[in-house]
Structure 1
Amino acid sequence: MKPIELVVLASGRGTNYEAIALAIEEERLSGRIKAVISDKENAPVLDKARSKGIETIFVDPKENNFEERLIAACKQFSPDYICLAGFMRILRKGFIEAFRDQIINIHPSLLPAFPGLKAQEQAFNYGVKYSGCTVHFVDEGMDSGPIIAQSVVPVKERDALKDLTERILREEHTLFPQVLQLLAEKRVELKGRKVVILDE
């Protein structure tokens, strides 16, 4: 199996980046991270990537033509997939079109419920009994792309928001690499809005 080549976009700590990198190291994921790109110059994820010898790039969102520069930064690595791992910026139509059906995001809710920011807090305040996380293809909408996989997390009676957030994050770290491995195995088929996972 040919390893899939990945570019990771991240804005913060990079825990999902770390989960992907660990899955590759432990040979649970047949892949290679070509670069980590951030819109935050001092994002901790960049230091974590550098410590592993992975190329890092900062693309300043305050400068002109941010989207064009972000597209160019990604294209130089010819990735099979672009992984959004806590990238806190909405990607515009030009970027989506440049990498159609190649952009994968993880979101901390069971979409289509609670899209957008602070999804865990939205779910917690709503009083749901179950939440979770979703891995999906990215389209032009807000967390609206075709769903590849979901993982359910119970909301316990004595949970504080922090408890639920941490439980969802642990599931994210499991689900994201699993989905990328399905993509590496070419077992993910996109049919309109529906994603079919093919048998081995």
Structure 2
Amino acid sequence: MADKIKIGTLISGGGTNLQAIIDACRAGRIDAEILFTGSDTPGVKGLERAEAAGIETFVVDYDPIIRSCKKGINDLDLPQDFDLAEILEKQRLMPADTARERVELFLKSRAVAEKKLLDRISAYDIDLLVLAGFMRVLTPYFIDRINTRPGHHKIMNIHPALLPAFPGTDGYGDTFRYGCKVGGCTVHFIDYGEDTGPIIGQKAFEIEDTDSLEDVKKKGLEKEWELYPACIQKFARKKR
């Protein structure tokens, strides 16, 4: 039997990609064991999917953390190892002309939430962190504490478009509105930018003239459920 890599998963919603990964692990199409599923949102369907599969779950609820930070952040609230100057230099999530105050609030509030997330993840020894529909962008503070070896990426994400086209939160919608005749999805590693990390794999599908946005999303999801397990297995083979 092939050695299995240990993976952790993060979700924000229904967890259909998580289910595809769970099913692929059970079927032996991925040489991996899922150690946990974490969420930034309580009560979502994806947590139920994980629990039904016997996977440990936890929640770090971002919303109250961010609301509290908007009222003011004391330096004591920040992680002890948080270096604002270092994070500002690395971050590529917000344009250079963004107001400094806004950038600092974003990075500080996310670091407060990310430290709580990291505290939960640190209980597990994982080879790979899989973002299976996790809708929060990750800052350099978080990334550097998962990617501890330079050049060795350990955070994987799936995006609903053929990157580098249409980064951001609405890839299928952007693809559809632009009038593209080919859509697709991309699995990539996370870096300091938004959907700019190294591409691991892609799958494409044709968009017919009669297709609605819902048709595009349905076609895309079906490709995602094939692509994500395949890319995790690709990582597993290289890890062995």
User: Same fold judged by TM-score > 0.5?
Assistant: yes
Q: Which residue of 2 aligns with 1:49?
A: 50
Contact 2:22 2:53 in 1 (8 A): no
d(CA) in 1 for partners of 2:239, 2:128: 14
Query: Which is further off, 65-74 or 35-44?
Result: 65-74
Q: Which residue of 2 aligns with 1:139?
A: 191
Q: Which residue of 2 aligns with 1:25?
A: 26
User: Which of residues 129, 134, 137 is equivalent to 1:87?
Assistant: 134
Q: Which is richer in helix? A: 2
d(CA) in 1 for partners of 2:207, 2:123: 43
1:68 counterpart letter in structure 2: K
User: Which of residues 122, 125, 132 is equivalent to 1:75?
Assistant: 122
- Please state how far the C-alpha of 1:129 moved relative to its aligned partner: 1.0
RMSD value, Cα: 1.3
The answer to whether the aligner puts 1:104 opposite 2:104 as a matched pair is no
Q: Which is richer in strand? A: 1
Contact 2:36 2:56 in 1 (8 A): yes
1:15 counterpart letter in structure 2: T
Q: Which residue of 1 aligns with 2:209?
A: 157
User: Which of residues 167, 175, 197 is equivalent to 1:123?
Assistant: 175
1:180 counterpart letter in structure 2: I
TM-score, normalised with respect to structure 2: 0.76
d(CA) in 2 for partners of 1:179, 1:90: 21
d(CA) in 1 for partners of 2:210, 2:141: 45
Secondary structure in structure 2 of the residue aligned to 1:57: strand
- Please state how far the C-alpha of 1:121 moved relative to its aligned partner: 0.5
d(CA) in 2 for partners of 1:145, 1:73: 25
Where does structure 2 lack aligned partners over 5 or more consecutive residues? Answer: 66-76, 78-111, 148-152
2:51 counterpart letter in structure 1: R
d(CA) in 2 for partners of 1:3, 1:17: 17
- Please state how far the C-alpha of 1:88 moved relative to its aligned partner: 0.7
d(CA) in 2 for partners of 1:44, 1:184: 27
Q: Superposed, which structure 2 residues align to 1:178-193 within 5 Å? A: 178-186=230-238
- Please state how far the C-alpha of 1:187 moved relative to its aligned partner: 7.1
Secondary structure in structure 1 of the residue aligned to 2:168: coil
d(CA) in 1 for partners of 2:206, 2:226: 16
d(CA) in 2 for partners of 1:187, 1:115: 28
Contact 2:8 2:128 in 1 (8 A): yes
Q: How many residues align?
A: 188
Secondary structure in structure 2 of the residue aligned to 1:185: helix
User: Which of residues 173, 184, 188 is equivalent to 2:225?
Assistant: 173
d(CA) in 2 for partners of 1:60, 1:24: 28
d(CA) in 2 for partners of 1:187, 1:130: 33
- Please state how far the C-alpha of 1:157 moved relative to its aligned partner: 1.2
Where does structure 1 lack aligned partners over 5 or more consecutive residues? Answer: 189-200
Runs of 4+ deviating beyond 3 Å: none
- Please state how far the C-alpha of 1:74 moved relative to its aligned partner: 1.5
